[in-house]
Amino acid sequence: MLSKICLNKRLIFLPLLYIIFFLSNLYAIENKIILKINNEIVTSLDIKNEIQYLKALNPGIKNLSKEKIDLIGKNSLIREKIKKNEILKYVKEIKIEKKILDKLINNRYSKLDLSTKDQFLEYLKANQVDISVIEEKISIEAVWNQLIYSKFSSKVKINENSLKKKIEEANDKQKKSYLLSEIFFKISDKNILDGKYHEIKSDILENGFESAALTYSISDSSEIGGKLEWIEENSLNQTIKENLSTLEKDSFTKPIFTQNGYLILKIRDIKFTQVQYDEESQLKKLINYETNQQLNQYSNNYFNKIEKDIIINEF
């Protein structure tokens, strides 16, 4: 009897070994090393998780080809890891205050037309994304912005007299505001601008502006499809104002030259309000907007600089 029991145990044990061996090999096949960023390995599972996150924030990319989605996921992950690597040269831990984190999470889910955090948690659960992933990514971006501010805020130049003049001219008039999305890109040679714009425009018309932003934009807004907050026309520079003034809702500009690259803007909505500005509070708003614009330029330039020193090996 004992020998039969031992035999039966072996018969049960062998298939279990086989199953474990099969599953481990299957996992190894699926979770391959795709990249090495300096000394950090990026696997196919890492990219799969990044794609899942991007799909949750930008449902429109689900309509893209698998190859294009994979490329978007890979580039997004590379950008994040380069930033994280740079941040950790200056801090031991990437962490922000809870109240700031909560505010930034609120901003994130409001862009998805969700009104509460509970709704956001349910949405993430349905899209197989854990809130901890969102918290980590938001924290990386927030600490990156703090790093940029500490390095470059002293270089920001604000012409308050010019801003005050804008406020005076706009007072007692109807205020126009735009809800915009952006694609910010760079090119190595001005002669290829027309071809690059044709490529981006074709992608916009075929797959939508948000998907094109994920593919082509190097701005931090790219991971949410290039979406920006409401911006008052009065706070925009003259060149951007002129490019937007002739456009209607759901249309987009041709590339607008800026100091650091080219900008394509889409008008998601337009609104008009009759206002009497409080000059002091409006001046603060314009100063904040102009400061953020300049810091974004420094951020892009700094990222491009450190990216050149990063060794990326693809397998």
**What is the tens place of the pLDDT at every residue in 252-304?**
999 999 888 999 999 999 999 877 778 888 899 899 999 999 999 999 999 99
Predicted local confidence at residue 174, as pLDDT = 81
Q: For the whole model, what pTM was predicted?
A: 0.74
* Positions in the chain short of pLDDT 50: 1-14, 16-29
What pLDDT does residue 31 have?
78
The confidence score (pLDDT) of residue 168 equals: 83
Which ranges of the chain would DSSP assign to H, the alpha helix?
A: 2-30, 44-57, 66-87, 98-110, 117-126, 131-152, 160-170, 193-207, 209-216, 238-245, 279-307
- pLDDT score of 136: 95
Task: Of 210, 216, 214, 211, give the one whose Cα is nearest residue 198.
Answer: 216
Note the pLDDT of residue 155. Answer: 95
> Which region holds residue 19: left if phi is over 0, alpha if psi is between -120 and 50, else beta?
alpha
